């Protein structure tokens, strides 16, 4: 079989495309499931609260929710993330596992330091009541920053 000179020259500079490994497929599946859960919950919240203002739909809002949404979103959150995390932990290597564990520990320290401090300041009427979702969000931000730093440094 003859290959033309042009075809041989044009393909020479391109690296060969490798198929995606099973580990990479599991990793992307786990991330995709987690993103899908967030998208479903966000869309469902929008549909379930048609007359609400945009501020009441904010993720850190304390506005009331319908019982159906609260139950469904809670079940989706727990079951969906358990499945996603199981797939994720089967896909990661030692380097990412170490980054994940240190990031989780940093998030836990963030919560352990901030929750009792906020609670104590509230008891002395120096701060508003402690907000669990703000504490969660703060720990999640710390987790993300430490994980990104350890994984990509």
Angle (deg, nearest 10), helices 94-123 and 132-152: 150
Is pTM beyond 0.75 here?
no
Give the distance, in angstroms, between the CA of residue 45 and the centroid of all CA atoms in the same chain: 18
Residue 108 tokens, joined: 């836990």
Instruction: Evaluate whether 103 touches 143 at the Cβ level (below 8 Å).
Output: yes
- Domain extents in the chain: 21-92, 93-153
Contact 143, 107 (CB under 8 A): yes
For the chain, 153 residues long, the average pLDDT of each consecutive 10-residue run is 55 75 88 91 80 61 82 92 90 91 97 96 96 94 97 89
């Amino acid at each position: 079989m003859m290959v033309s000179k042009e075809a041989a020259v044009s393909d020479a500079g391109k690296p060969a495309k490798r198929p995606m490994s099973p580990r990479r497929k599991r990793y992307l599946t786990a991330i995709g499931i987690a993103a899908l859960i967030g998208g479903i919950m966000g869309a469902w919240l929008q549909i379930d609260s048609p007359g609400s203002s945009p501020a009441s739909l904010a993720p850190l809002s304390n506005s009331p929710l319908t019982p159906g949404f609260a139950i469904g979103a809670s079940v989706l959150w727990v079951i969906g993330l358990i499945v996603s995390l199981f797939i994720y932990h089967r896909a990661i290597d030692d380097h990412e596992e170490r980054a994940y564990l240190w990031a989780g520990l940093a998030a836990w320290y963030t919560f352990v330091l901030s929750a009792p401090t906020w609670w104590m300041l509230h008891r002395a009427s120096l701060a508003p009541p402690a907000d669990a979702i703000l504490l969660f969000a703060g720990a999640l931000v710390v987790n993300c920053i430490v994980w990104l730093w350890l994984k990509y440094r």
